[in-house]
Structure 1
Amino acid sequence: MEQQPATGRPPQQATSYPTSLGTSDASTITLLGHDLAGELMGKVGFGELALWLVTQRRPEPGEVRVFEAVLVALADHGFTPTAIAARLTYLSAPDSVQGALAAGLLGGGSRFLGVTEDCGAFLHETVSAHDGPLPGDGDDAGWDELALKTVRAARSQGRLVPGLGHPVHKVQDPRTPVLLGIAEENGLKGPHLRLFEAVGRVHPKVLGRTLPLNGAGVCGAALADLGLPVGLLRGFALLARAAGLLGHLAEEQRSPLGMDVYLSVDRNARYVAPPGG
């Protein structure tokens, strides 16, 4: 028998890559331990599936209702920078819908969309670090005391309190009371939402002015109360905004305005000599 030449390398072992998500073979696709075609398609909604994929457990109907309310709240807010970026990228590269969609999603940061994660993380930090039992559901005074301590600490550290204020909704963000109500109706108004409400009540004592609790912030609090990892909350905001951006691209195909935006800026640009130049 002809011998194989020695390579100096150990023999290869069978490789295994474990996953609890999806696998497939020649005839089936398995997702979350279920037959995709036979058990999930037409029987599980997209919002329910997204929540299931992250939590690795099938969510309760009330959890799905709160989660989908968050997705709807964050889907689109008109001609935001993310939407304009998507439209202008499509203008430049109409052969690359994926590039235009990605351009809009890449603009999700601390000023737009990122507040959802920032607020959820801010609240979670306070809830997790609290020494002793948290105030009860009806103990507004207890929540106010904790919120006042939290806002004062943030102010002393020079930190912004995420979730406060909105560039358009100066008195009340219309999404905030609706999402609070949906969470309450489904028994999912937990410590993050209660603390966020309390921040809304007490922050004028520290900041000297009254700001509305914005929708992105209440979405972050609601997602945190669903037990979702705070480090993924921006991902859910992007998931929601992907639908809105796709709508903008569809509208751009039907009734383009990207060229008007480009020309408006380009034709009104004026040269200004640099300082000292």
Structure 2
Amino acid sequence: MSDDQVSAPTFPTSLGTSTADEIRLLGQDLTTDLMGKVGFGELAFWLVTLRRPTPAETRVFEAVLVALADHGFTPTAIAARVTYLSAPDSLQGALAAGLLGGGSRFLGVTEDCGMFLHQALAGRDASGDTAEWDDTQWDELALEVVRESRANGAYIPGLGHPVHKVQDPRTPVLIGIAREEGLEGPHLKLFQAIGRVHEQVLGRKLPLNGAGVCGAALADLGLPVELLRGFALLARAAGLLGQLAEERRRPIGMDIYATVDRNAVYVDPES
């Protein structure tokens, strides 16, 4: 059999394909069906779920992206800026440095909280038995979940914030948006219940943080909980790009480096 008679392998995809004359994405013509007609947040949702979100879902989803984009000189922003200082010829390196810092303390809480709530609800919401629950019933479940976590020595993602000690301003707003759109589902309800009852078990009152409420909201949208960190990183990419643009306009990377370097003090490792 000659080479031209051998069938070429095929690689199935439901995302993007290109020919010499056309680009198709999600079964749509990119230029005539999507460009100028679909927002970026809507497209991101569609790419993951393979279904176009409703206007209500888009509003909640994009509110999450806005909530997570940027909130000051976090470690991810500092990492991006000092990397840009070191390698201004590598914008992608600086952006990647910031994204690589998305973990269990910053940004990753979105996924951790969504996963935590999802596991707590496993076997309950599947049967629809939580649909008509009132706050008392949610509080009972929350107490069970918090006590179990405490007994296992595990922390509860979404509780506490290094800056917002009383209330994270993002939390009530995102809950309100989800409620307005009829998308306040079991993850958000359990998260709020944890906020109401955790003090009974932990002995102190902690705020429900913005990253956690974002994870609950994304889980209620039906997005895969294993991918929630990706949405946090998608949002933070925009914020980091803004940080790098500002670093070009008003650089502080050298000041950060110099402040740490000039205040470094040698300590005898044996002392």
User: With structure 2 as the length reference, what TM-score do the two structures score?
Assistant: 0.96
Q: Pick from 109, 128, 139: which aligns with 1:144?
A: 139
Q: What SS does structure 1 have at the residue aligned with 2:153?
A: coil
Q: Pick from 41, 44, 50: which aligns with 2:35?
A: 41
The CA deviation string for residues 124-175 of structure 1, in whole angstroms up to 9 with x for no partner, is 0011143865334451111011111011000000000110001111111100
State the 1:12 CA deviation: 5.0
Indicate whether 1:195 and 2:201 are aligned: no
Q: Pick from 261, 266, 274: which aligns with 2:269?
A: 274
The CA deviation string for residues 55-103 of structure 1, in whole angstroms up to 9 with x for no partner, is 1001000000000000000000110000000000000000000000000
Is contact 2:16-2:25 (8 Å) kept?
yes
1:210 aligns to what? 205
Where does structure 2 lack aligned partners over 5 or more consecutive residues? none
Q: Which deviates further from its counterpart, 149-158 or 12-21?
A: 12-21
State the 1:22 CA deviation: 0.2
Is contact 2:124-2:130 (8 Å) kept?
no
2:259 aligns to what? 264
2:26 aligns to what? 32
Whole-angstrom CA distance in 2 between matches of 1:272 and 1:111: 28
Change (3 A) 1:45 1:133: closer
Q: What SS does structure 2 have at the residue aligned with 1:269?
A: coil
Q: What SS does structure 1 have at the residue aligned with 2:154?
A: coil
Whole-angstrom CA distance in 2 between matches of 1:116 and 1:64: 18
- Give, as a single letter, the amino acid of the residue that structure 2 aligns with 1:120: G
Change (3 A) 1:153 1:129: farther
- Give, as a single letter, the amino acid of the residue that structure 2 aligns with 1:139: D
Whole-angstrom CA distance in 1 between matches of 2:36 and 2:172: 32
Q: Pick from 101, 109, 112: which aligns with 2:103?
A: 109
User: With structure 1 as the length reference, what TM-score do the two structures score?
Assistant: 0.94
2:178 aligns to what? 183
Whole-angstrom CA distance in 1 between matches of 2:99 and 2:208: 24
Superposition RMSD in Å = 1.5
Whole-angstrom CA distance in 1 between matches of 2:166 and 2:75: 23
Q: Pick from 149, 152, 157: which aligns with 1:162?
A: 157
Q: What SS does structure 1 have at the residue aligned with 2:206?
A: coil
Report sequence identity in percent: 74
The CA deviation string for residues 173-216 of structure 1, in whole angstroms up to 9 with x for no partner, is 10000000000000100000000010001101100111010000
Select the structure of larger CA radius of gyration: 1
Q: Pick from 61, 64, 87: which aligns with 2:55?
A: 61
Q: Where in structure 2 are the equivalents of 1:47-86 lying within 5 Å?
A: 47-86=41-80
